[in-house]
Chains A and B, each alone.
Chain A
Amino acid sequence: MPIDVITAFIGFFLTLIIFSYLIGDNPLFRIAVHLFVGVSSGYAATVICYSVLLPRFTTLSLGDPVQLVIGLVPFFLGATLLTKLTPRISWIGSFALAILVGVGAATAIGGALIGTLIPQAQAAMDALNFRSAGSSSEAVFKLFDGVVMLTGTVLTLAYFQFSAKRAPDGTVKRNPILELLAWGGRVFIAITFGVLFAGVYMAALTAMIERLSSLINFVKSFLG
């Protein structure tokens, strides 16, 4: 029996086991979950060794001590991270961990500032730039798009404004105007969450269709 058939069977039964969750939690579902986690971890370890570590070793220049030392530094720092498994010597891996956190934070902050905040601010301002619009209808659409975007942004920010004053009867109420703006912001937030939920549903629906298609195709392959 070819490997594809075996993997097809395994895939078919595992898919059914996963679908068994519709009738409730069952051992088969747990077996499929544990099997997926185990296979994924093993595969990830293998990938790391073969695609990360071994290439590094193979590229070490043994003739150049400087390059060799520089090439061994990542291995050394990576090895110190293993000391985190033992509390006694976990401090050894703190330096490598600090480097990872520091470098990652700096990179994320730089990338967010340059790649998200500034470009998105410029894009929000360009939303109301009608000169870029080719036609009047496109300008109207762009104006509407810009107004909606601006309104949604303002109202959403107003919704998260929780400053209020205490009334004489002890109750806390926000400013009526701010309360109205917050209500509009709540509408925009609801639409956003609805869109996200729809995207999740569509992603899941697509995955389910792919699985059903796989099952049907497997069955069709056996049925001829």
Chain B
Amino acid sequence: MADIRCPHCGKDNPDFLDVCQFCQSPLKPESMLHAGDTPIKKDTGELEPILPDWLKDARQQNREAAEEEEATRPKIPKVEPPDLLAGLASQAESDEEEVPDWLAGLNPVADKPSSTSASDEEAPSDFFAQFMQSGEKEPEPSASEPEEAETPSWMAGSEEQPSEERDELSDWFSQVSAESEETAGFESSARQDEKSWMDAPEPSSPSPGEPEKESEDLGWLRDLEAASQQTEEPSASQPAADFLPGETSDQASDDLSWLNTLGGVEQEPASSQDDLSWLNQPEQTPSSDEPAASQTESAEDDLSWLNQLGRLEQTPASEEPGSSQADLSWLKNFGEAEQEPAAEEFASSQPDSPQEDLDWLKGFGASEPAPEQPGSAREDMSWLDGLGGTEQEPEPEGSRPVQPESSQDDLSWLDELGSGNEPAPDAQSPKPFAGEQELDWLKNLQDQQEHVTDGSASQFSPPRTAPLSPEARDAMPDWLKKAAEEPSMPPLGAASLDWFAEHDKSVEAEPAQIESDASDQTQAEPASAGSEFSAPESDSASLSSQDVDSMFDVDMPDWLSREPATAEETPSETMPADDALAPVELPSWVQAMRPVESVLEETSVGSADQVTEKEGPLAGFSGVIPFAPIGSSRRPKAMSLKLQATEEQQASASLLEQVIADETISHVTKVPPVLAPQRVLRWVLSGLFLIVLSIVVSFGSRSMPIFAPASVNELSNLVANIPDNSPVLVVIDYEPSLAGELEAASGPLLDQLALTRHSKFTFLSMSANGPALVERLMDNTRIGKPQPDGLGYQEGAQYFNIGYLPGGSAGVLGFVSNPKAIMPLVNVNGFPDYAAVVVLTDHSESGRVWVEQLEQAKQNDPALANKPLLMVSSAQAGPMLQPYVSSGQVDGLVNGLSDAAKYELVNTSRPGIARSYWDAFGIGLMLAVLSIVLGSFWSLFTGIRARRAEAE
């Protein structure tokens, strides 16, 4: 599996991922095109196989139509204006693919003959015009056909519905327009005051001095107008209209006055020149008064093809000279029921509106004839005045001075909506004032067109679109049919607000008049079309469409905001005859929508992960909207279902499992052995010892032999060297529990001293019970017993029981240093007066204290060096005192009954205590040894038996 290196973080990722799994940045090129991005040139021919059948069919139809048109239509060189919107015109050449092919292919009559007129040649490129052309059976003059070709046929089709079939909204607008005509003068003046913020930059006239004001506001439109002026000849009627003093000043002060005339019935002759007067067409009934020349001019500059939208019959071109010059005049005719004479409108209202206002909106739905709109066609969008207007009648110039002020401020044009049947004098009055309210940029737009368009009023007649053919209607989608239906709303105009009040009246009057107008229009168009259209007008039409596009660029999709392709440009580039599906540059929104990108494999990497918004309220912000390409194949990271555990972890887990399993198994608890045999054994042993020893003691057996070692003789010799009648210090350092042992052990030594040396004993007790033990010792050793059983020692004469010596080692040291100071009752003056020191101890520690302190005293007092230190110890303390005997620190040691018996043997068996205990002592030791041996064998036997039992 190949890896793709992330351009952002540089880490490798699996090739099936679209987004980096580490930094979430796109791994593959940003194939998805988002709204607002520049379309990328793509070879859409590769998409042909995946297109739906219906789209393929539509494309095929479009392709065939293009081939036919290319063969018949002469190419008109396009002169692009130098302004920023000039790109729209250029895009029309190269970006024709931006018009959805599927929409372009919807035209079922794309193969209609168009060799006679330019509009027929442009029809294949304009998907809306395709529908319109099908309905237009009238052969339009070549000069005026471009407008028709640019007019969406679906809008034209909407005008095919008779006025009787208007819906409620159309009726409402017509009524409102009727009312507005009456009060237009007041409303316009009032609105002019209210909207004075838009008045300042407007010039007084559309003369060459106008560009100064245009530079203040939408000057880019001025360039657009300039470009159009280069290609169009200024109409003769426009200069006259532009230099009307009253109107120009009003237009300079009012900028949104065009709204007053939006939908006006007959107010704006000038707006029809350069506005989107085609919007008048949806409700406009065919009028024979419109000159064909006006249609040709409008077709050059604007999207006047929309004028044909819904128009049943083309108005005479001579009636709409201004609209042909003004680019957006086609909107004026949108919904226009009747065209007013171009000459009247041109003289009255056009000079003002084209300079400053958007009077082209006045023509929206209005029925004003084109000749009245040369001035407005230059700069404004007064075409909106005619929006919704049903008919416009020629305006007398005399009525114009009355209405300018009122039409400047108000939106009286709404009154004209749907008031196409009203007489011209009422409808013309607000038009001059509507021109005063135009914006500068719109005025400049008209100025440019004034230079281009001719002065003839017939040139400004709005273009008309032919009614849809039955085939086109059948192929038309439902939504287009609905759009092509006659609107139920009243026409936009000054009297539209009165529409509701006069709804019944207008409905009654309109049918007859509309029918007549329609018949007139169909008769007038062929004648005017041929005279009005010329080659430069196609450029002006493109410029006007650019203006419209610039207005709707914000909200409209790209394909709508761009200029419909002209007949000269589309055939050669969009529809190659030999390619099945030529590589085209799809519109951005189409590229953004199509899911092809997720199918195509691309390995290159996208540029940036954060997209800067280019449109909408978030324009300029980057990374606001998360990057999520359409059709992304982002998939979660593959996770292994296998447990990731090392061998050690698995071993631990198995061990834990075993431990848990062992816990679930029941174990038989072993009953501990009964303690009764131990107690019995203890009783047996105790009884055995008691009985045996008692028997031995009671019988006074002395049969056990005693072997006296040489060390005993040394001790006896040492005692024999002690001077006679010398004081001997006897230290009582044992407890009453071992008094029997110590008395038996010390008896032979003391007996020798008393008997042979007549030593005077000084008994010093190291415990509080010592003094009592001294008396007991003297009695049991028979030293203190009177003679002849004892030696007859008396206390205070032969022995001194000086009492208890407290303080431990310190007391011993003090006593050794100064016995008199420590023990006032002592019978010596100093410690060296003692001929020997006999220590009777049952603890090694207490005997060691005397050894240590005497050793220290001997180093300090050389007189003590030769003083013998004899020790009589219990059998339990003897082994610990033996090292001192070996080191020579203790001169003689009698350890327990065994040494006492030996010493007694040496001392001629006196006093005989040790010997009396000796047999019992010996038997007791043998019993102990026997018990240990028997116990060891018993333990061995039981152990073997237990092992055999376990083995069995």
Report A's interface with B, CB cutoff 8 A: 19, 22-24, 40, 43-45, 47-48, 50-52, 55-56, 58-59, 100, 103-104, 107-108, 110-112, 114-116, 119-120, 122-123, 127, 192, 195-196, 198-203, 205-216, 220
Contacts and interface: CB of A to CB of B under 8 A. Distances in A.
Given A199-B876, A203-B842, A210-B744, A51 B825 contact: yes
Nearest to B780: A210
Contact of A44 (B689, B768, B859): B768
8 contacts: A44-B804, A47-B770, A100-B810, A119-B887, A203-B842, A203-B875, A205-B928, A210-B744
A23 B685 CA distance: 12
B898 A111 contact: no
B883 interface: yes
B803 interface: yes
A55 B825 contact: yes
B715 interface: no
Nearest to B924: A205
B898 A202 contact: yes
A202 B896 contact: yes
B383 to A, nearest CB: 98
A48 B768 contact: yes
Nearest to A207: B740
Given A47-B768, A199-B878, A206-B917, A114 B693 contact: no
A207 B809 CA distance: 28
Nearest to A202: B875
A8 to B, nearest CB: 13
A202 B888 contact: no
B922 to A, nearest CB: 10
Given A209-B917, A210-B917, 19 more contacts: A22-B682, A24-B679, A44-B804, A47-B803, A48-B806, A58-B824, A100-B807, A111-B849, A115-B854, A115-B855, A196-B876, A196-B880, A200-B876, A201-B875, A202-B897, A203-B741, A208-B689, A210-B740, A215-B694
A43 B737 CA distance: 15
Contacts of B884: 119-120
Contacts of B740: 206-207, 209-211, 214
Interface string B868-892: 0000001111111001101111000
Given A51-B825, A207-B737, A114 B855 contact: yes
Give the 6 A-B CB pairs with smallest separation, nearest first: A115-B852, A210-B740, A51-B803, A44-B768, A111-B852, A123-B887
Main secondary structure of the interface of B (DSSP, over half): helix
B769 A44 contact: yes
A51 to B, nearest CB: 3
Contacts of B925: 201-202, 205
B694 A115 contact: no
Interface in B686-726: 686, 689-690, 693-694, 697-698
B867 to A, nearest CB: 15
B921 A115 contact: no
A120 B817 CA distance: 24
Interface residues of B, number: 70
B851 interface: yes
A214 B917 CA distance: 11
Secondary structure class of chain A's binding surface, majority of residues: helix
A196 B880 CA distance: 8
B771 A47 contact: yes
B262 to A, nearest CB: 96
Nearest to B685: A22
Contacts of A195: 879
B603 interface: no
Nearest to A106: B810
B738 interface: yes
Contacts of B738: 203, 207
Interface string B777-806: 000000000000000000000000011101
Nearest to A195: B879
B883 A120 contact: yes
Contacts of A48: 768, 804, 806
Interface in B726-781: 736-738, 740-741, 743-744, 765, 767-772
Given A115-B852, A119-B889, A202-B925, A210 B741 contact: yes
A202 B852 contact: no
B683 A123 contact: no
B916 interface: yes
Contacts of B895: 199
B825 A111 contact: no
B856 interface: yes
A43 B810 contact: no
Given A43-B772, A50-B803, A119-B855, A212 B888 contact: no
B733 to A, nearest CB: 14
A123 B767 CA distance: 31
Contacts of A127: 886
A104 B821 CA distance: 18
A110 B813 CA distance: 10
B813 A213 contact: no
Interface string B837-861: 0000010000011011111100100
B439 interface: no
B879 A22 contact: no
B317 interface: no
A210 B889 CA distance: 31
Task: Indicate the member of A55, A103, A108, A111 with the most B CB atoms within 10 Å.
Answer: A111
Contacts of B769: 40, 43-44, 47
Contacts of B883: 120, 123
Contacts of A201: 875, 925, 928
B856 A114 contact: yes
A212 B694 contact: yes
B924 A107 contact: no
A116 B697 contact: no
Nearest to A56: B824
Nearest to B898: A202
Nearest to B860: A114
A19 to B, nearest CB: 8
B333 to A, nearest CB: 101
Given A55-B824, A212-B690, A115 B875 contact: no
Contacts of A56: 824
Contacts of B879: 192, 195-196, 199
Contacts of B888: 119, 123
B50 to A, nearest CB: 68
B896 A199 contact: yes
B810 A104 contact: yes
Contacts of B928: 201, 205
B245 interface: no
Contacts of A122: 887
A120 B842 CA distance: 21
Nearest to A196: B879
B920 interface: yes
A190 B866 CA distance: 38
A111 B809 contact: yes
Contacts of B767: 44
B808 interface: yes
Contacts of A100: 807, 810
Nearest to B914: A206
Contact of A209 (B809, B824, B921): B921
B876 A22 contact: no
Interface in B340-387: none
A216 B697 contact: yes
A218 B825 CA distance: 36
Contact of B804 (A47, A120, A200): A47
A208 B888 CA distance: 33
Nearest to A111: B852
A18 B328 CA distance: 137
B856 A203 contact: no
A219 to B, nearest CB: 8
Contacts of B878: 199
A166 B171 CA distance: 106
A206 B897 contact: yes
A214 to B, nearest CB: 8
Contacts of B813: 107, 111
